[in-house]
Structure 1
């Protein structure tokens, strides 16, 4: 802002000082603002409008954000909820809203407020369609469409439809089985104890809203870091713990957020951050190339009698090098058409028809399939196809275990969601040898996962733990939290009201702590194990 704009005061504050506030603080400021005379008359309508929009932001769980927060620093879930809040302010009627997993990144406490907001949108006379795996959201819906019964080739049809209670009783619905409690993610029979174990100690963490906290991470456990949205979880783990460990163990030059001291790094030999960033930004990257699966597949094709007779080496079956690839599209399978004043359009290559390879390369077949047909297989189909080849079957089995059996081996990496990219990274780590002294860090790995997929994922994470590794998970999903060995709960609120350790201990210890919002929501889950009903979020439509 220019000098003149920065010279205007409202309620004793300038605009930069107001925009530096969180949504909650700005709302309190507006409600407490008292302007006299003509100033009050001019400002009344404006202040009411601003207060209403701030209230909408708070209702969708964003009261911890500062008003001057850069848009590119927002998560996908936060950006989506800001757009939702703007629609609430518009007051439109007769609109169909489509939301894709709006509960991502929300604590169960904040999720209830979001669902109440969606119900309010419906009550205004709108239609709200939500793609969601969250149990609270499913029970809050007036009508549920359950797709399946499985993923990929095993899905694609409506298994059950109707109110959640009807879906819960449907025998073929996997979702219904979990809703009714006929099937459940079980509690571990025993939890790995923190007693007598070496630990990693982080002292004086004070980045962003952290209040110079001291944190103990018992090693060899599955640890969940919990807390309401904006409580400081990502700052503690992604911005402080991971950079410290990466600098010490791998000499990576990442600057951690401020802290005083760290102890216990000597017990670790590796740290791996399995985040949701893309595995590749070009069509040349895919699940087969990223997981290392493509190399043994190419070697297998080059070992066929046809390939040997032609003198083809493994490189012949790569779409990244000259020789075997289609030169018209240079192995991309697509041709970019530049459009003036419009986004570029990609069309299938006329020469190779999208296969990426030239005709000579496609003549070579293994068990009746050429290399392009293999890349078109899903992970599940490829697992059966390559069952006699251990080097390939083992990697494919790991991909199935992390819940991506429906992905195609050659699927463009740019089409993968953040959750899918994260599970591919997890699969790659599982395929590697570990020494039992690795620190794995995962940020909300259940994003986009059904109850059944979460159950599979937990088996994988517990297996990493059982090898002696430490698994630190930032998570809101109570089904994951209840299976943890140890929980570190931050809060009590988001933004300036957070950044403190509220409670630490086992899930049972947290559930008994009245100070913890996480414990408050965790207690009934531990008590019933398999929830048969959910408390009403908003009034159901007849």
Structure 2
């Protein structure tokens, strides 16, 4: 059968289309233009894309179809010459706070792989690269502990993974081990616990029970060797202090700092994922921000007097309790209660906001004739809200207090979202958190500079990964997004930006024979970036795809291979093909408004 040269549409009546017939040339860059509301999108999206998508989905198995949205069958007599269709609309991307430009474009997945395979861990304490430990180093470190310290030598065989592990328990018993520690509890291997395979578990094998004393080096070295072989080069000494939780000392044949004892368990891609508990900063859960009570929201107007409600949380119906509290503090610190907030001495402002510390203040309260006096420290407005926010079960109180909260970068990870161990791993002097905060242009320069800083062995590993990252960054650069950073929240992108990100990922997929339908991709673009966008669309076409663009932009219309002008008016006055042909033909056609 001869290859179809056209997508033939007959009798399209979707929305305001007046039963039109069009022949759209395949493997070309086709622009559909016309007034807003003239029926461009009805033809491109609701007819051609909908039918292409629907036919493709119908060809899948019934099982696969249940996961996909079936498109409505468009109101059209017949369409031939369709390919599987991909639409790139101006939907803003996900509002999920965990979704970033890096994760949407999948560049971050490659970066995680790069850092896991080619990164070098540095000690946060000394700033020096962390080297692998020998068994002898581990023995020396354990022997340096206090004599008489008791503990268990454990081999962590399962860490934070789902499963039942019946087979493993049986195997361990055959090998002569007697006890395991599962999810923090000890069990005999004769009666192992039954685990729920839906939950994540931690399993440590008890290799030896030790009491640190002279002359046990040989036994310790043997036990360490056994533990390291069982658990891929990691052993844990769990010592029981006189009180509190047991302390766990991790020993790794791979990475440990001899000075501070800082260890990195094993460097794997999930260590760099802020969406997995294994890699996310434990303080902010990988969101990079923390909530705090903001002084500026607690005192929104510093020209008010403290007695007239300068403290916003105390404004609610001037209660006698608050007013008497203010009077007592004013008397104790000797200031006039009618002073404006901004004129109060700084230490008095601090007392109101954060409390009086150790200093007791005499309070006198008169509750409808019952007078009582008490001397106590003053808690402070913000610590009081923090405490009640933590302790309350009431959503109403929570919402009330959230009015005084604001975001700031997380103090533990500085807004990098990752845990300390992940930020200790660096390539070319920078950790993963710093790389994603670069703009795409800077990240591209960084990727090009990486090979020079790696050893030959690591370059072999990193070459393919760097190529993938470089290509994807290059695509984003080519569609005029070089100013975005990979850590930018995708919920903050404009429609045009998110559309061009999807466009870049489509070019990266390198498909052929696909029908792409785009919705005004030039929106929000500077004129100089328009040319780069059109080059990108032509590259899609040259790869053997049909590209249909709904567009108002003159340059895009002039650069197209073929143009359809829909009109002549909007709504019921539109829905007809006024003119079609090459841009030159449409330009000279008197019927065409465009």
TM tier, smaller? 0.5 to 0.7
Deviates more, 1:409-418 or 1:244-253: 244-253
Task: Name the counterpart of 1:319.
Answer: 274
The answer to whether the aligner puts 1:386 opposite 2:450 as a matched pair is: no
C-alpha distance in 1, partners of 2:5/2:54? 21
C-alpha distance in 2, partners of 1:396/1:503? 39
Flag the structure with more relative contact order, 1 or 2, with Cα contacts below 8 A and sequence separation at least 6: 2
Distance change in 2, residues 1:386/1:232 (3 Å)? same
Measure how far apart 1:343 and its partner are: 11
Q: SS of 1:463's equivalent?
A: helix
Point out where structure 1 has 5 or more consecutive residues left out of the alignment: 1-195, 519-542
Task: Name the counterpart of 2:473.
Answer: 396
Task: Name the counterpart of 2:15.
Answer: 208
Match 1:332 to one of 264, 274, 287 = 287
C-alpha root-mean-square deviation of aligned residues, in Å? Answer: 1.9
Q: Which stretches of structure 1, 4 residues or more, deviate above 3 A after TM superposition?
A: 335-347
Match 1:353 to one of 392, 398, 414 = 414
Deviates more, 1:228-237 or 1:253-262: 253-262
Q: TM-score, normalized by length of structure 1?
A: 0.57
C-alpha distance in 2, partners of 1:242/1:346? 42
The answer to whether the aligner puts 1:284 opposite 2:98 as a matched pair is: yes
How many aligned positions are there? Answer: 319
Task: Name the counterpart of 1:83.
Answer: none
Distance change in 2, residues 1:343/1:208 (3 Å)? farther
Q: SS of 1:280's equivalent?
A: coil
C-alpha distance in 1, partners of 2:404/2:86? 36
Cα shift readout 1:309-350 (whole Å, capped 9, x = no counterpart): 331210000000012211222101123577549698543323
Distance change in 2, residues 1:343/1:275 (3 Å)? farther
Match 1:258 to one of 67, 72, 75 = 75
Answer yes or no: is the 8 Å Cα contact 1:235–1:257 preserved in 2. Answer: no
Distance change in 2, residues 1:487/1:321 (3 Å)? same
Q: SS of 2:76's equivalent?
A: coil
Task: Name the counterpart of 2:565.
Answer: 489
Match 1:457 to one of 507, 515, 533 = 533
Cα shift readout 1:495-535 (whole Å, capped 9, x = no counterpart): 110011101100110011111110xxxxxxxxxxxxxxxxx
Measure how far apart 1:197 and its partner are: 6.2
Distance change in 2, residues 1:369/1:440 (3 Å)? same
C-alpha distance in 2, partners of 1:479/1:343? 50
Distance change in 2, residues 1:292/1:498 (3 Å)? same
Structure 1 or 2, whichever has the larger Rg, is 2
Task: Name the counterpart of 2:24.
Answer: 217
Point out where structure 2 has 5 or more consecutive residues left out of the alignment: 59-68, 123-253, 256-263, 293-397, 452-465
Distance change in 2, residues 1:342/1:226 (3 Å)? farther
Alignment of 1:158-177 (within 5 A): none
Cα shift readout 1:399-433 (whole Å, capped 9, x = no counterpart): 10111001001100011000000010010011112
Deviates more, 1:245-254 or 1:339-348: 339-348
Q: TM-score, normalized by length of structure 2?
A: 0.52
Task: Name the counterpart of 2:35.
Answer: 228
C-alpha distance in 2, partners of 1:357/1:289? 14
Match 2:46 to one of 210, 233, 239 = 239
